[in-house]
């Protein structure tokens, strides 16, 4: 079987395990949908009635099997708290989260790659130390705090960026960029801080290798050695980590979506947990798991493009 | 190891700068600029969260009703004093036995899709709430309705199975919103495509981000609403709310944190309106647990806590203390003064009389994410420590709190706010019967009085009945009542006629202008 097909088949059980763990976890934590809906007004008779109306009084296993059955037919169910099909809720939100995650990654790579290379080429110079110190600070700052700072400095004080919200790319690309830039920057800065160390270490490692000396000995210019040889090799670990981080960024988006009022998957997941809306949580977690798995696969495929030694049969 | 970095040609450096400049310029020019105010007939309001649904019969969430108030109307509605006044119903009468309520509907009212309002809509609406398939969380609270009869096109009669004085208040709550019969019959999805008789129609709803409401030109109150568009943005972050108010991106923001008040007040373009909420904040006591079964211990807790200080520090300087389990703004509130004044010595004496002179350890559960309750808990903990009571605080997530603390009674003390109800029945039902209230308070007399209040139609008699019940509850010190917290709403200076309907905890934009 071709590599891609095999990998895709392996994704299904992973996602199913994630869904099952989510299902069990939500049963273990106290509180159910009916209790959250009725809040402090709940009378025992109201609760019992609502639980019956919502089907929460049926056995757990039955509900799980039922959910699996629907899933097999591609139906994620209808959310009780939102009163909308879960798939519709997810489809509306996925572009937001993907936009944030990908632009954060773009910012992270754009910052980390040149800075990491410069730092490695002038290792232990004041420039390098500044980059390292900056990366330390970047890692230490929580993203939500950086997000709030950016909001106060750049959105509230200047007309450059809006405070809240999201505009779809299709509706207006410029507005899309305006709404996306600050959350992506807040999220990307932290990833850049992590990535820059990796780039520096990888480039530094390669610069000491014999083939670099050989290339120089053959009379190649430094810049050319770096571009054609060093970076190509140094990029492999960087791509691996960046690819995995893209998955983490989808998780990081939960926090940043809350700060910037972005209607993404993270916010949906959070609302689902607060409301104990099982179907929403299941759907959102599965989507994130699926994205994670697909990104991993994509990273593997990119290897082959970067390193001709790697092929997938 | 390294050679010289190849120099970037000057030309390309210039190109970079130019690109950045153009980008910044393009972003700044892309209208509407964030800092500028919206046009005069467009009103932007920041709310802490969004609605879960726009189907009034599908939710019990306050935030949802705050939005739905602009989309739907009810038969009656509360005025600023909490009195019920005509809305879709022009007038109403009650049969002598209190079982039949006849409502005369206003003529010329139209739904958003053009249909005129008639008695059939009211009948279909009430039957929809009562239908188990609707899964309305308020199905039981609409009252013991037996039948709804269409007397003539503009007259509808609700027949009750037993006397139920709170029926009028139930019809004024957000979940009593009237929907059109034709769409109910077609199983229309009101949750995302609301159709009511309200002053605004739905323009666009981006879940968890914003909702845009547009003026309904056929609204039954002539000349209203005055705004062309209301945009409600859902802003959970406190820093963003205040920044948006100060910059002018928001015309109004809901529930400003007391700590942000000085900054807001320092801005000449911002006005703060302070209003008492219909909440009653309490330190709930589990009456069924060990030492707390003793009324002397419960009274000692009142004496140990400086209620005024807790209320004003944690919930804002304009909050008002109260000694009864009723909001200060309610016509049913009674003034008992300060029955258990702050007096640590007296608290210690009561505790030692009860046999706890050497100290007592209690659990204090505080609900996350309600920071004011957590702040209040820390103050209470320090005050109790002074009289020898060790309060072990634990902060619990809201779902956990509802399930284990509120539902399961697994706590000694907890701090919480009880939302307002139009009718005292809504607040008091179940009190006095230990199985039906979360502080496990048992008092047959109180239970009987509350039942009497439910079936008494005469408002003056009802007031006396409830006053008696409230007094008994405080005498039993069934929980430490703190009082009603204030709510701070921030407005940009030009905003006028911004109305809060505190009795049902919602906002009314019909007359708002800016």
Low-confidence ranges of chain A (pLDDT < 50): none
Compute the distance between CA of residue B311 and CA of residue B320 in angstroms, rounded to an integer: 8
Q: B5, A160: Cβ pair inside 8 Å?
A: no
Q: Which of residues 114-133 of A touch B (CB under 8 A)?
A: 118, 121-123
Answer yes or no: is pLDDT of B15 > 90: no
Structure tokens at B121: 């809509």
Please name the residue of chain A whose CA is at the shortest distance from the CA of residue B49.
A261
Q: Which tokens go with B90?
A: 């022009």
Q: What is the pLDDT of residue B232?
A: 96
Q: Would the pLDDT of B10 be above 60? A: no
CA dist., res. B148 & res. B342, Å (int)? 53
Mean pLDDT, range B365-374, rounded to an integer: 90
- Nearest CB to A174: which of B30, B408, B416? B30
B209-212 long-range Cβ contacts below 8 angstroms, 24+ apart: B209/A164, B209/A165, B209/A166, B209/A261, B209/A262, B209/A263, B209/B50, B209/B233, B209/B234, B210/A164, B210/A165, B210/B50, B210/B234, B211/B50, B211/B51, B211/B67
Degrees, nearest 5: CA angle B351-B354-B357:
45
> Tell me: the pLDDT tens digits for B268-286?
999 999 988 889 999 999 9
pLDDT digits (tens, 9 = 90+) for A76-104: 888 877 778 899 999 999 999 999 999 99
Interchain proximity A159–B36, CB inside 8 Å: yes
Chain A residue numbers with beta carbons less than 8 Å from the beta carbon of B52 are 81-83, 275
A240 touches chain B (CB under 8 A): no
* CB proximity A224 to B under 8 Å: no
Q: Is the bond preceding B179 in cis, omega lying within 30 degrees of 0?
A: no
The yes-or-no verdict on residue B465 having pLDDT over 80 is: yes
Q: Is A74 left (phi over 0), alpha (psi -120 to 50) or beta?
A: left
pLDDT over threshold 60, residue B23? no
**pTM to 2 decimal places:** 0.82
B257 close contact with A: CB closer than 8 A: no
Q: What is the pLDDT of residue B38?
A: 63
Q: Looking at A157-171, B207-221, B229-243, which range is the least confident one?
A: A157-171
pLDDT in tens, B381-440: 999 999 999 999 999 988 888 888 988 889 999 999 998 778 888 889 889 898 888 999
Binning pLDDT at 50, 70 and 90, where does residue B9 land? Answer: very low
To the nearest whole number, what is the mean pLDDT of chain B? Answer: 89
Return the closest-CA partner of residue A133 out of A115, A149, A109.
Answer: A115
Query: What pLDDT score was predicted for residue B257?
Result: 87
Interchain pair B234, A32: CB under 8 A: no
| B189 or A305, higher pLDDT | B189
Phi, psi for residue B234 in degrees, rounded to 5: -100, 110
Test A164 with B235 for CB contact under 8 angstroms.
yes
Q: Given CB atoms, is A258 within the 8 Å cutoff of chain B?
A: yes
Give B-chain residues touching A155 at CB under 8 angstroms. 34, 243
Partners of A49 on chain B (C-beta within 8 Å) are 139-140
Q: Can you count the helices (H) and strands (E) in chain B?
A: 15, 21
Instruction: Flag whether residue A179 sits within 8 Å of chain B, measured between CB atoms.
Output: no
Secondary structure letter of residue B223 according to DSSP: T
pLDDT tens digits for B85-101?
999 999 999 999 989 99
**To the nearest whole angstrom, how far is the Cα of B366 from the nearest Cα of chain A?**
14
Write out pLDDT tens, residues B55-91. Answer: 999 888 888 999 999 999 999 999 887 789 999 999 9
- Whether residue A175 and residue B435 make contact (CB cut-off 8 A), yes or no, is no
- Which residue of chain B is at minimal alpha-carbon distance from A45? B140
Q: Which of B132, B210, B416 sits opposite A53 (nearest CB)?
A: B132
CA dihedral A220, A224, A226, A231 (to 10 degrees): -130
Residue A135: its pLDDT value, please?
A: 93
Mutation target among A100, A163, A174, A213 for the B interface, most CBs of B within 10 A = A163
- Among the listed ranges A186-190, A217-221, B109-113, B374-378, which one has the minimum average pLDDT value? A217-221
Q: Which pLDDT does position A299 carry in this prediction?
A: 80
Q: Which of B26, B34, B435 sits opposite A162 (nearest CB)?
A: B34
Give the residue, B337 or A294, on which the prediction is more confident. Answer: B337
Q: Is the pLDDT of residue B36 over 70?
A: no
Supply the pLDDT for residue B26: 57
């Amino acid at each position: 079987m071709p590599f891609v097909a095999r990998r895709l088949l392996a994704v299904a059980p992973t996602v199913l395990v994630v869904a099952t763990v989510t299902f069990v976890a939500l049963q273990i934590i106290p509180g159910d949908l009916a209790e959250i809906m009725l809040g402090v007004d709940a009378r025992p008779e109201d609760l019992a009635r609502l639980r019956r109306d919502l089907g929460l009084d049926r056995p757990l296993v039955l509900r799980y099997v039922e959910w699996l059955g629907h899933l097999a037919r591609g139906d994620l169910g209808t959310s009780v708290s939102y009163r909308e099909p879960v798939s519709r809720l997810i489809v509306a939100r996925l572009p937001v989260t993907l936009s944030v995650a990908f632009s954060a990654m773009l910012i992270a790579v754009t910052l980390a790659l040149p800075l990491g290379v410069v730092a490695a080429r002038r290792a232990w110079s004041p420039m390098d130390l500044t980059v390292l110190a900056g990366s330390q600070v970047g890692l230490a700052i929580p993203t939500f705090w950086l997000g709030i700072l950016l909001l106060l400095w750049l959105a509230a004080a200047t007309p450059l960026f809006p405070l809240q919200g999201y505009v779809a790319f299709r509706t207006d690309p410029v507005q899309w960029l305006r709404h996306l830039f600050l959350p992506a920057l807040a999220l990307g800065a932290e990833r850049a801080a992590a990535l820059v160390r990796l780039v520096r270490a990888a480039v530094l490692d390669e610069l000491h290798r014999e083939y670099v000396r050989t290339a120089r000995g053959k009379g190649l210019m430094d810049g050319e050695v770096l571009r054609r040889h060093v970076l190509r090799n140094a990029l492999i670990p960087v791509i691996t980590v960046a690819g995995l981080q893209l998955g983490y960024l989808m998780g990081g988006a939960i926090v940043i979506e809350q700060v910037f009022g972005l209607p993404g998957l993270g916010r949906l997941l959070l609302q689902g947990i607060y409301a104990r809306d099982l179907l929403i949580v299941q759907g959102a977690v599965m989507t994130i798991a699926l994205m994670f798995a697909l990104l991993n696969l994509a990273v593997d495929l990119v290897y082959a493009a970067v390193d001709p030694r790697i092929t997938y049969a | 190891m390294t050679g010289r970095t190849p120099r970037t040609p000057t030309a390309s450096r210039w190109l970079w700068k130019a690109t950045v400049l153009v980008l910044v310029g393009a972003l700044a020019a892309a209208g509407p600029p964030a800092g500028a105010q919206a046009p005069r007939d467009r009103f932007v309001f920041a709310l802490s969260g969004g609605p879960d649904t726009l189907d009034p019969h599908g939710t019990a969430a306050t935030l949802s009703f705050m939005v739905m108030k602009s989309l739907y109307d009810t038969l009656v509605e509360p005025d600023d004093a909490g009195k019920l006044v005509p809305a879709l119903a022009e007038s109403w009468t009650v049969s002598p036995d209190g079982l039949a309520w006849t409502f005369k509907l206003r003529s010329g009212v139209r739904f958003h899709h053009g249909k005129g309002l008639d008695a059939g809509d009211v009948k279909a609406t009430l039957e929809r709430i009562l239908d188990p398939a609707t899964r309305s969380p308020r199905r039981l609270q609409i009252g013991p309705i037996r039948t709804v009869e269409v007397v003539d096109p503009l007259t509808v009669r609700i027949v009750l199975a037993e006397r139920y004085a709170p029926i009028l208040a139930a019809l004024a709550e957000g979940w009593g919103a009237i929907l059109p019969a034709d769409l109910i019959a077609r199983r229309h999805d009101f949750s995302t495509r609301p159709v009511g008789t309200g002053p605004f129609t739905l323009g666009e709803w981006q879940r968890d981000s914003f909702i845009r409401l547009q003026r309904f030109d056929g609204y039954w109150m002539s000349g209203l609403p005055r705004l062309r568009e209301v945009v409600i943005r859902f802003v959970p972050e406190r820093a963003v709310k205040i920044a948006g108010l100060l910059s002018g991106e928001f015309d109004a923001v809901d529930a400003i944190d007391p700590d942000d008040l000085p900054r807001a007040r320092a801005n000449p373009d911002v006005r703060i309106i302070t209003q008492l909420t219909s909440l009653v904040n309490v330190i709930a006591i589990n009456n069924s647990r060990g030492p707390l079964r003793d009324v002397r211990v419960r009274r000692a807790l009142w004496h140990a806590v400086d209620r005024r200080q807790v209320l004003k520090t944690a919930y804002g300087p304009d909050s008002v203390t109260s000694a009864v389990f009723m909001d200060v703004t309610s016509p049913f509130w009674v003034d008992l003064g300060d029955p258990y004044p702050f007096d640590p010595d007296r608290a210690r004496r009561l505790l030692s009389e009860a046999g706890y002179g050497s100290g007592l350890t209690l659990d204090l559960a505080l609900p996350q994410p309600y920071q004011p309750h957590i702040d209040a808990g820390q103050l209470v903990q320090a005050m109790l420590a002074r009289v020898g009571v060790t309060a072990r605080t634990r902060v619990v997530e809201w779902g956990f709190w509802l399930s284990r603390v509120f539902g399961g009674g697994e706590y000694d003390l907890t701090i919480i706010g009880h939302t307002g109800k139009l009718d005292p029945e809504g607040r008091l039902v179940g009190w006095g019967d230990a199985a039906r209230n979360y502080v496990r308070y048992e008092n047959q007399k109180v239970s009987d009085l509350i039942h009497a209040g439910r079936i008494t139609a005469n408002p003056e008699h009802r007031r006396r009945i409830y006053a008696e019940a409230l007094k008994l509850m405080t005498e039993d010190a069934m929980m430490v009542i703190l009082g009603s917290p204030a709510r701070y709403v921030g407005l940009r200076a030009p905003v006028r006629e911004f109305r809060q309907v505190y009795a049902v905890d919602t906002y009314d934009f019909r007359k708002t202008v800016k």
